[in-house]
Structure 1
Amino acid sequence: MKALIKSFTVFMLTALPLMGSAQSVNYAKSLIKEGKYLEAAKQLRPLADGGNAEAQYMAAKLFFEGKGVAKNVNQGIKYATLSANQGYEMGVCALYDYYSSANNNIKAFSVLKSYTDRFPDLKVAIFTGFRLFNCYLEGKGTTKNEELGWELFEKNNDYEWNMKNMAGFGERYWNYKAEQDGVSDMFDYADYLYCNYYKTKYYELEKFISEEKCKTKTDWAEEADNGHAWAKAKLAEIYLNENNPQRAYALAQLAMGQGSCLAKEIFERAEKSINRMIQSSSTNNNSSRAYSSGINSSAKTGFYKVNKYRTSATDVILTKIDVGKSYTTITLKYRNNTNGARRLTINPNTHVEYNGRTYRMTGNSVPPSGIMVNGNGSYEFTISFPQIPSNGSDGFNLIENGSWKFYNITY
């Protein structure tokens, strides 16, 4: 009976009309997709016997799986070998997969190594390359060699796809790279790359973690809670982008304490944002208290009666003070009561006098070249200082050194 089936199979695979090679292969693919394996086999056999590498691979698969033909391992090996001998990637994979499924890992690796040496492009091809570096990483059929395995992984033509889709290889790869550079894991490795200006590799790792490991703010928060300084810095960046510089400032400060280079940049950005932002608060008789969150539970902001502290001819009004953990920001409004445009500039020697000490300005929101304010217009700006240790009721002086002064500021 088996002989009869075999004879019938050979007859059916040889007795068919020929089309163009590519056309027939594509037609066979469509038949296989529809589950019409016998019809596909009829199309493939003459093409395979005629030397078409793709048809040889497809015929091998049918014989290995017994679809449309009687299962015949020897015929499968024959056609897969013919395909592989032409350097056809999937033909090599068919041979490897057969021996691997038969638990003959040594033979599987030997076949794979032989063809990738014979056809060097196959070492970095998507499917043969993956099988090759996986053999070295797992010690499958050969001596385990992680260094060579990851080197082949990096060179693979579809490196990014492998990074994302191949059974956790991306995370394994980055942790391996971290270990090679003496870093504990890929989160710390990201900050290591950032600190050492390996920006191309840094952005590659940042993209991987953002797309595969930390897709949401909750994910970042979990990693931050796990103690990763870089994750804290990234979470701070998220808060900063959400217009919550106070929370960003606090997180970045914690991450800086753990030595994060990225945190230092986020901290500085958050501080500048705090210095420039106008915090909303309720007003009661032109004077009120509001509490800022995230930096210091006792941080206060204050609103002031119009002109209460103005002592110079220039029309500048103090509107708010924000006292944080390591800074003091003062918000003022310049009003141009003339008909023509006027340039507002801030003297770099602007300072605060408190309790016999001078606190120099560390920054302001007015460009160094100044800013033009139209006639009868106004412009609100901020000036920042290191934290002034006033308790809010003992008063301090703000001196612009040129245009205006405020004395005995309380809040």
Structure 2
Amino acid sequence: MAALSISLSAQNVTGLQGEAKNNLLRLTWVDSVDARGPVYIYRSVSPFEPGTDLSILGRLIKVPYGVQSYIDEVEFPGTWYYFVAASDTEGQRFELPLPPDNSIGIEILESSDRLAVSPAAPPAEIAHGGEPGVNSLSAAVEGDSVIVTFRAEDRGRAVVLYRSARPLKQARDLVGAVIVQPDIASPFIDYPVPGIPYYYAVIFEDDLTRGTAALYPGRNATVEAVEVPQGSDGVGLSSSASIRSLPLPMISLAAAVPGMNAFDETPSPVELSPEASKALEDLEPVQRKSSLAKSPRAFSQDLEAPGGGEEYALYSIMQDFFLKKDWDGCRNALAGYLGLPRSSASEARARFYLGQCYYFLGQPRESLFEFLSAQPAYPDESAEWIQASLAALVK
């Protein structure tokens, strides 16, 4: 056993360490004594363990022997795992992760100048601040569909599934994503357009309403895109292709209506009993309630002429566009207003008005983003508009 340990150490790098500054990570190690070829660096959002399939990672960095360091730039916060593999002069790589000697995990905190560094550990032992409540999200292609699976910590909360052709790294990326379906359960079968790579994310619906939704790539958002091959049966194909993979079940009228002739196309009318007729007469006509239309809402301080400055500029926009319901002109004026530095209170109110412009222009995705931005300053006022924007998105 001792001889095997010495042999493995001689063929692998040792002393792997990492330090982080902002989004830059610096790795250092001690090269192998026996394996004197290039060093290969693998990166993943999952821990490296013996038996890890390295061929699916795709990203591989080659560092010459003797350099013994590498600086990497990451795209988003979270825990990043690195495995440094030695190779010999003939090109054979020694791809056996042996944490912590040649494999470590580095945790990137979203709001920190000096980022924390932690050694690699099994997933259950890694502590993450601000857990999303949804973990282990994965998306896999199966025929003409994508099977989305995840694990929710609280099964009683409604989960919303997003799909996007662009990576979903931060909450603002949801503005450009498509809501596939609210209140889903795992596993979920999606039928995206073939030939387009897609990313997925799952968010609790009440987090969206409160404005506390956050994305954690690798946990509640996929890191790798999945693509249904062209030519699969499903949406986006020629008219000869079946749009639905699973047909609706056939309903047997003969079995549903006792005494019906199986060869009749429709069942014969059956007279209601006197009791049923009487109960029907007593019922009041039921009318479908239409959803209440939203009315524009403004803060009183923006309807009274101030002395000047940024408050007067916002007052002018309200008088010239908002009160006249010129939503297109108001949107452009508010976008120009927000193009300059403003106080936090003025910016929050301007975004609240901009969200209403987008809402009345029929752009609920954009309106949702603006109301979420205004919610920290005006939680009660924004909450009802967030609900209205979400309702418009799923129509």
TM-score for the superposition, normalised by structure 2: 0.24
- Give the structure with higher Rg (CA): 1
Q: Greater helix percent: which structure?
A: 1
- Higher-strand-fraction structure: 2
